[in-house]
Amino acid sequence: MSTKSMSGIAGIIVLFSAMLLSPLVAAQAAGLPDFTELVEKVGPAVVNISTSQKIKHKKIPQPQGRGEMPEMPEDSPFGDLFKHFFGDPNGGGMDEFNTQSLGSGFIIDANGYVLTNHHVVKDASEIVVRLNDRRELKAKVIGSDARSDIALLKIDASNLPTLKLGNAEKEKVGEWVMAIGSPFGFDHSVSVGVISAKGRSLPSENYVPFIQTDVAINPGNSGGPLFNLQGEVIGINSQIYTRSGGFMGLSFAIPINVAMDVVKQIKDKGKVTRGWLGILIQDVNRELAESFGMDKPMGAAVLRVIDESPAEKAGFKVGDVVIEFDGKMIHHSSDLPLAVGTTPIDKKVKVKIIRDGKPASLAVKVAELPAEEQLAGRGADADNETKPAELDKLGMAVDELPPELRSREDVKKGGVVVSRIEDGAASEAGIHRGDIILKFNNQDVKGVAHFRDLVTALDKNKSVPVLVQRHRSPMYLPLKVPGE
């Protein structure tokens, strides 16, 4: 076949391919959402929030060698500057200066109720809300909740534009979303993306199932709304994950359902209450599930039961794995605080657990979550004699807990401290020198002699759960018993 014929055939193939692809490209382009009408519709109800805070610090005493500060008129604008340079001739005392910060919010009621983040208005001495029409109005805090990071503000205005609230639970991963806010002070900036995940739990937040998105969120966006394509608010932009201080593709929003429950409680009761069990929990991974005798990893492993808590009264024990609470499956440990927190106070609920590898049920009466300071640990009990350490077949040596360590770590009874660790099953499990072993193979550790008996009785090639405490934080570690 000639070169000319080959070129002709190639041209026909290219043309035919282009004809086939053109409708596909057009369809893909047509499928992308147009946000222009949405921005025009919802933009007027999004506001900018600026706050002022008064910060106190000690006055700088006048140092030696700088000379005396010149006398200045009382109303001189240079007085503070010279005081900073020469020092305060009176010395000591306190100075005040103002700092300012920016955030976002949105109007949920035509009579002036504005929703934003708690951290946007925390400790503010003055809050100013700037509307879309450039009016600036002072706001007062009606109520604020640190645990959910929600604050309800009120401005003196009426007939304001409002936003329609959606249902975050109905939204699906992969759906388009849009944010409007004031990143770095740039009012009414629009950014778009998709829902990356739902029900995310963050280390510092136990009562919010965050919506994760890849919408660009930066400082100043906090408190602003997250919209679906219908123009409904489905979340409040609250946090970002970053190593640089700026956007890195991981943004987190508080579901609007959670926020409005907080708003309702603030309006009705003036405060926010949550359910409480009184347990410290940990997620169950594959290795832990095996050591607990479970078929698959799920639930929340109980690390500690607080004295005189609803959980203690209901019979919860360390080592229980909560798999269902009031009819709700607990797939991850993060599911439990939310389920408990949204349960009405004094309601008696059924809890399904795994105890010693077998299913069981408990009935617990949910109490009100105490203030954080009320949850502080209490003192310890009697002393124990210290005995010499001896290396065991797991590659570690343990001692009795000295009184000062028992008191510092708030260990009420039992337990042993790891005094030496070498290569072996214990180190492979993640046990460290200085860890306190509280529970071993589902047995409370009563002391060194008891612990040695528990180790001796271990079956080969078996996985067992080990409850250790490290710097007052308990955790379960799965330990694989060696075969030889």
* Residues with catalytic roles: 119, 149, 222
Helix/strand/coil for 78: coil
In whole angstroms, give the CA distance from residue 374 to residue 372.
5
Contact 262, 148 (CB under 8 A): yes
In order, the DSSP letters of 262-312 are: HHHHHHHHSS---EE--EEEEE--HHHHHHTT-SS--SEEEEEE-TTSHHH
Compute the C-alpha angle 45/49/55, nearest 5°: 170
What ranges make up the beta strands (E) of 38-112? 46-58, 94-109
CB atoms within 10 A of CB 206: 18
In whole angstroms, give the CA distance from residue 268 to residue 238.
24
* φ, ψ at 176 (rounded to 5°): -70, 145
What would the two tokens of residue 350 be?
């059924």
Contact 376, 410 (CB under 8 A): no
What would the two tokens of residue 29 be?
């382009």
- Identity of the amino acid at 323: I
Q: Show Cβ contacts of residue 177 under 8 Å, excluding neighbours closer than 6 positions.
A: 171, 192, 193, 194, 195, 213, 215, 226, 227, 228, 234, 235
What would the two tokens of residue 148 be?
């959910």
Tokens 């921005």 correspond to 39
